[in-house]
Structure 1
Amino acid sequence: MRVSQDPGTTSPRAWGALAIGIVVLVAGFTGAWLLRPDAAAEPAAVPTPTVVTPSATPTPEATPAPAPAGFAANTAAYDLASLPQADVFAVLPQLPVDSDPASAPTGEVVTAVGAGAPVFADPTGDPVAVLPAEYVYGGTTVPVVERQEHWVRVLLTGRQATPSTGNPGQLTGWLRAQDVVFAAVDARVEVSLSARTIDIVRPGGGERIATDFGWGVEGTPTPTGRSFIMTTRVEPSFGYTRGHPLVYLSVQSPTLDGFGGADVAITAFHYHDARSGAISNGCIRLDAAAIGKLAELPMGTPVLIRP
């Protein structure tokens, strides 16, 4: 995920010293996180961003068809404090990159109960990370791509590796069903780069919200495959957004280790006056009406970007 084409983000390890322009300043943090979709405007002062509360929310406690048994149940207790956190800044080589990026998720999302949920690369092994129940930069409500009786496989934020060292694609992991609460999402976003269309698809039909937009140039392409909405924010200091929200995705740049001095390169949907053709660092640039529609979607909403 990347502070996409235009966003840039500041490493959590450098928060104490860096001024960031697209992040919510949260009490208790000594620094802030800069999600910068455009390098064009460098904020002169630390702003106070506004968190957008989506008007659409998941329906609690989804009731899907019975899931296959799959892997055996695991009721072991684990020391979550000893595990690395699966968040936007994480590099987790233990977790696999999505092996089926063209498929749509199941229509469910999950959120950890309690302090967090242990994340497994393999349900027969030990956990390799923890998914927090809450995180200031989002990414804690995640879409299910496979459901079993005792386990779910989900998409996650973070990267297996940076582009210069390995595969930076969309991460996946397994969670125990006992550690999460389920909800239904009735929408997904489908993007076609070749057709220049963006649709919000629901069971009753789809709504086309764009017939043209801007996307990444050859050297910094927009990542394709499935991901999800990580967080939605307004950053007044980014003049090119004209005060419209930025909708950040869970997937980062396929070519940039970081952006704007940060060690993450997050992809986002955002407004820009220049918004047609291959023009960005990887983000998708849209008009105000389309951004408004996307900003209404709840966190965890699946996004499928096709070439």
Structure 2
Amino acid sequence: MHYDHVTGRRIPGWLFAALGVPLLLATALLVGHALTGTPAPTPVGAGPAPTGPASPRPSPVESVPPAAPAPADLPVVTYDPAPRGFPADPTPADTRQLREGARPDRKIPAYDAPGGRPRAFLAPTINDVPLTVPIVERRTGWTAVLLPSANRTVAWLPEGGWTTVALRDQIVVERRTHRLTWLRDGRAVHTWPVSLGMPGQLTPLGRTFILGRTPPPQDVYGGVDIFALGAIPDDPDAVPTGLRGAHIGLHTWYNDDTLGKNVTNGCIRLTRAAQRQLLAELSPGTALVVVDRR
């Protein structure tokens, strides 16, 4: 039973090992490799109503709320838990594919609503890994993205300072059936069995995404790189004190004996062959959604 993650500021990353074997603490740096009117009656005494085509009614112009200036001392979203005050993802269990991501070109402010309050900055990298966040909604002048280092939370970005990138892939994880499905362009490519979080440390439900990857620090990870996700434990106090602040991970293990069981500290564990294939195909920003049942 284990929990895998990469930490933030002082130490590049710590990874959990299995429950029942010594807890493995090893540093690992994230590396880059992700909206007819009815004509008026003719007044009494007036002449006949004019004939010919009616003039088109003007379409209402959508108002674009301005972006309030962001104070320079706002916090920057890092690998540590994200600042509070951002809104909840309105559709966290939505399994429709997110086909676009936002990649910051510079440090950009993130708001709690269109025209709302700036709460934090998103930087171009987290732990030196280029950041791509999936786009979940667009409104005139504003774009909502999944917030890194938070669960089921979005942030709103004004125009400018970021680039739109295409996202072809998606991962759907079903907790009740312990099944992971990789989709490309909306079509299922492959399905594998997975191990998930134990009671009290369940794999968090909802939409998240691949934040980056890290080399395996110990042999128990099967010698295969690990994906760090944007999600964190739903209950940080449920993990060992020295390992709090971890992110959920997607990785393999040194054996496949526990596939299909709830035995991890929240991570998603699959076979080495499956992990190698995903590492070769998926890019940062790829959306991953965990549902009870698809």
Shared fold (TM-score greater than 0.5)?
A: yes
Aligned residue number for residue 228 of structure 1? 209
Query: For 1:130, what is the secondary structure of its paired residue?
Result: strand
**Alignment size in residue pairs:** 260
TM, length-normalised to structure 1: 0.75
Give the drift of 1:243.
1.0
CA change 1:139–1:36 in 2 (3 A) is farther
TM, length-normalised to structure 2: 0.78
For each residue in 1:244-267, what CA deviation from the matched residue of structure 2 results, as whole angstroms up to 9, or x when unmatched? 011111111122345461331311
User: Structure 1 residue 306 and structure 2 residue 291: aligned?
Assistant: yes
Work out which of the two has the higher radius of gyration on C-alpha atoms and give 1 or 2: 2
Give the drift of 1:9.
5.0
CA distance in 2, matches of 1:138, 1:171: 21
Aligned residue number for residue 191 of structure 1? 173
Counterpart of 1:7 (choices 4, 23, 37) is 4
For each residue in 1:123-166, what CA deviation from the matched residue of structure 2 results, as whole angstroms up to 9, or x when unmatched? 2223110000122164721000001231110101123xxxxxxx
CA distance in 1, matches of 2:241, 2:62: 44
Give the drift of 1:178.
1.8
Unmatched segments (≥5 aa) in structure 1: 16-30, 59-66, 160-168
Aligned residue number for residue 32 of structure 1? 12
Query: For 1:252, what is the secondary structure of its paired residue?
Result: coil
Contact kept? 1:134, 1:140, Cα under 8 Å: yes
Contact kept? 1:142, 1:228, Cα under 8 Å: yes
- Give matches, 1:1-307, under 5 Å: 5-8=2-5, 10=7, 12=9, 15=10, 31-36=11-16, 38=18, 40-43=21-24, 51=31, 53=33, 67=35, 72-74=64-66, 77-79=69-71, 81-103=72-94, 104=96, 106-114=98-106, 116-136=107-127, 138=129, 140-159=131-150, 169-203=151-185, 205-210=187-192, 212-235=193-216, 237-257=217-237, 259=240, 261-272=242-253, 273=255, 274-276=257-259, 277-295=261-279, 296-307=281-292
Contact kept? 1:158, 1:171, Cα under 8 Å: no
For each residue in 1:201-233, what CA deviation from the matched residue of structure 2 results, as whole angstroms up to 9, or x when unmatched? 1226211240x2211111211111111001111
Q: Report the RMSD for the aligned CA atoms in angstroms.
A: 2.7
Give percent identity, aligned residues only: 23
